Structure 1
Amino acid sequence: MSADICLVTPGHPSKNPRLVKEADALVEAGYEVTVVAGDYHPWGHNADEQYASREWSIERVPYGPMASSLRRGILSGRKRVAEALLRAIPTESELLKRRAIHWAVPELVQKTRSIYANLYIAHNLPALPAAVAAAQDRGAKVGFDAEDFHRGQYKNHERESLDAQLTMWVEEEYIPRCDYVTAAAPGIGEAYTEILDISQPATVLNVFPESQRMGHTSPEELNAEHPGRGVSLYWYSQTIGPDRGLETVVRAIGIAQRKADALPPVTLSLRGSWATGYEEELRTVAHEAELDDEQVRHLDRAAPDQLIERADQHDVGLALEQPNELLARDLCITNKILAYLLAGLPVIATDTDGQRYVHEQVPEAVALSPAGDPDAMADRILRWTRSEERSEAADAAEQAARERLNWSVEKRTFLSEVRSVLGQ
């Protein structure tokens, strides 16, 4: 099989909107595109069906629940054996390390090598061995999209763990061999430049296409998004769980209610799946903060292309990155904050390096608050409950998203990197 460009990811495209945007942009620019993707979760497998009509194709690599029982046992056992050997015997074996970093790296390598392309682009670290190996086979170019600062996902006391050591090995072994690197935030690119002695990666923000603002969700479902009263503070993720800053927001709502007599009802609207036991834990915090039961509201997960217009039905977006000694969380700019701005929402964001960058771009629409400080968060909530200020902030968010913080603008940087590396 041949393609001009092959994108590689160990996960589902439906769980990686950044890869999907790149694939669409490449097709629009006239390239033939194939995506090699892991296939491991029933929900993700079904969600990937939405791309069946796209002009790029998907080659799946099944593992986990999507593989047969025999195959699942073989891949899992292979990974455990490789991990055990690496813990027991000091070795620089690339073969063992590839098998230890992920269940399906050899299969990703095999599938990617079967695609004849001029450029292979890896998304996420386990895709790097496959993209680099295929590029070497074909005499092709290879790129890497650094959506996170991966070694920064470990706390200081975790740096000696096997997982951390393997992460650093993949970064050091493969990223310098790439012909170009893009980064989802300036801080991520700067960190990799310093550690790996590579050229400064181009920043490609994780923004969304304006086409996602409407037309993907039925009117009935959109009408059910807002609680129907007062101000809805909106947050979404695949998992609603601890260490995400939600307890701080709940306590802040309680403080705001005690500070202002005429405060309109404030609801925390959460989209995602509850982590085991966490709903009860968060509602306990809500009761202690003197919130009514309906002030913490659960919304089911939604398709990626519906997130912008669903967010648009709420009043304020919450971008609650928690550094917690994790440099990666401090540096990153998640899709949440950029999705809220495209939806025209004012944002309350924790004061991290990455989110400070967005605040500097749109100071009228992004209010920063120190992580873990409910009193400061309460002040930001009170600010956005005032309808006139909220309306002005919403206008600023929409203008910024329309003029620069959208994919039609940001994809130019990505396509420029591709054309440059291909000598076009």
Structure 2
Amino acid sequence: MKGEKNVDVCLITPGHPSKNPRLVKEADALVEAGFEVAVVAGDYHPWGHEADEQFADREWRLEHVEYGPMASPLRRAMLSGRKRIAGALDSVIPVESEFLNLRAIHWAIPELMQRTRSIHADLYIAHYLPALLAAVAAAQEREAKVGFDAEDFHRGEFPEREQESQKARLTRWMEEKFIPRCDYLTAAAPGVGKEYAEILDIFPPTTVLNVFPLSQRSGHTPTEELAEESPDRGLSLYWYSQTIGPDRGLETVVQAMGLAQRKGKDLPPLTLSLRGSWASGYEEELRTVARSAGLDDNQIRHLDRAAPDQLVERASQHDVGLALEQPDALRARDLCITNKILAYLLAGLPVLATDTDGQRYVHDEAPEAVALCPAEDEEVMADRILRWAQSPSRRLEAADAAERAGRERFNWALEKEKFLSQVRSVLD
């Protein structure tokens, strides 16, 4: 075929690689292992577009599919209108239509499919469900293998009141129709793999934790920026995400900080250091909660978003990492093991974590480094904070345990071998 591009492995994601470090680690690992690699990725956000420039010198090829703000006005209007019309028709037509479904669930699935089909690979690996449709279509056309990486339990991302929504229904449709067609499945947490195995009646997926390379501990952040990372006094409780918003457990933390201050004697100043972009109106909302808890405004500290390869190094400048998943909100959040808890351990940071299914697994693997507490119990959380704030020696012991866990258990040098073994097994 004219213009055919031959690689061993093609990875596909509907989003930016800069917002999906797991995919980037897989692409790098495959190149290291001697595979020719291409990545097909969505290009929809100015920040992500700029951040993706960091991959220009990688040995894998990146091909973008533009939509949203990164597309031309005409293309943006066409894709948005197509999704809206397909969604409306899908809601009223009584029979299932794959043609409508794949256009209703996402803005650019046909374009992802077209770009992926243009790459002749032996194995197509999808990240996130919209990419899975493109991977399966390309693999079928090329008589190739297909894999899917389940970073989350996707049907569990909807609250009970939204279970019959169009998006939830189409999510279940994608899972049930396309995941069983994969030649292999990996999952970012044991609970995610177990749920999919039971629901879809498939072989249990291989767990590949969302850990980071040991090399990210140092050397990625400008020295002057690193010097300004932590507050210049007291104890810094650190949390990061793309968005700082409600229903993330932050209100409980500030209430626990206020309670700890009232209960503790000779307590060092406590600071909540938050990295990310504020959700609309949430900064004032959280500061109001903080003031009512007896905290000063300077005890809530905002940090700008940072490049993915700087997150571990920046975390190491703080004192305690916060992993605040809410178990009762969504099943997916209860099962997942997030980037942040694993980044904290690699950074040598003791972790204060809510007691979820996924985070309980990490605690059981590194009990001296991770302290669990009920998600909405500020009393228990305050006691955990006091334990480390009033006893630097205990906190240093927990930090040593975290560093050891990151070095010996939770790092990409170990997890990538499971991923590569899965790839080799499928291709062989």
SS at match of 1:4: strand
- Check the 8 A contact 1:346/1:384 in 2, yes or no: no
Bigger mean CA offset, 381-390 vs 280-289:
381-390
Q: Structure 2 CA distance, aligned partners of 1:404 and 1:355? A: 15
Give the equivalent residue in structure 2 for 1:387: 392
Moved over 6 A (4+): none
Tell me, yes or no, if structure 1 residue 153 matches structure 2 residue 162.
Answer: no
Give the equivalent residue in structure 2 for 1:370: 374
Q: Structure 2 CA distance, aligned partners of 1:404 and 1:244? A: 27
Tell me, yes or no, if structure 1 residue 414 matches structure 2 residue 405.
Answer: no
Give the equivalent residue in structure 2 for 1:119: 123
- Check the 8 A contact 1:7/1:36 in 2, yes or no: yes
Give the equivalent residue in structure 1 for 2:184: 180
Given the alignment, which residue of 219, 237, 242 partners 2:246?
242
Where do residues 159-170 of structure 1 align in structure 2 (5 Å cutoff)?
159-170=163-174
Where do residues 10-409 of structure 1 align in structure 2 (5 Å cutoff)?
10-385=14-389, 386-409=391-414
Cα shift at 1:372: 1.0
Q: Structure 2 CA distance, aligned partners of 1:51 and 1:387? A: 41
Cα deviation, 1:380-423, whole Å, max 9, x if unaligned, reads: 11112121011000100111111121000010100010000001
Cα deviation, 1:223-262, whole Å, max 9, x if unaligned, reads: 1011010000000001000000000000000000011121
Q: Structure 2 CA distance, aligned partners of 1:214 and 1:64? A: 35
Q: Percent identity?
A: 75
Cα shift at 1:79: 0.3
Counterpart AA for 1:132 = V
Counterpart AA for 1:172 = E
SS at match of 1:117: strand
Matched residues, number: 423
Cα shift at 1:75: 0.2
Cα shift at 1:323: 2.4
Cα shift at 1:218: 1.0
Counterpart AA for 1:413 = K
- Check the 8 A contact 2:217/2:347 in 1, yes or no: yes
Cα shift at 1:2: 1.5
SS at match of 2:53: helix
Counterpart AA for 2:411 = N
SS at match of 1:415: helix
Cα shift at 1:325: 3.5
Q: Structure 1 CA distance, aligned partners of 2:242 and 2:193? A: 26
- Check the 8 A contact 2:327/2:355 in 1, yes or no: no
Q: Structure 2 CA distance, aligned partners of 1:297 and 1:37? A: 34
Cα deviation, 1:294-332, whole Å, max 9, x if unaligned, reads: 100000000000000000000000000012341100000
Counterpart AA for 2:35 = Y
Cα shift at 1:156: 1.8
Cα shift at 1:157: 2.1
Counterpart AA for 1:96 = L
- Check the 8 A contact 1:272/1:301 in 2, yes or no: yes
Cα deviation, 1:155-212, whole Å, max 9, x if unaligned, reads: 2221110000000000001000000000000000000000000100000000000010
Q: Structure 2 CA distance, aligned partners of 1:362 and 1:37? A: 35
- Check the 8 A contact 1:112/1:131 in 2, yes or no: yes
Tell me, yes or no, if structure 1 residue 8 matches structure 2 residue 29.
Answer: no
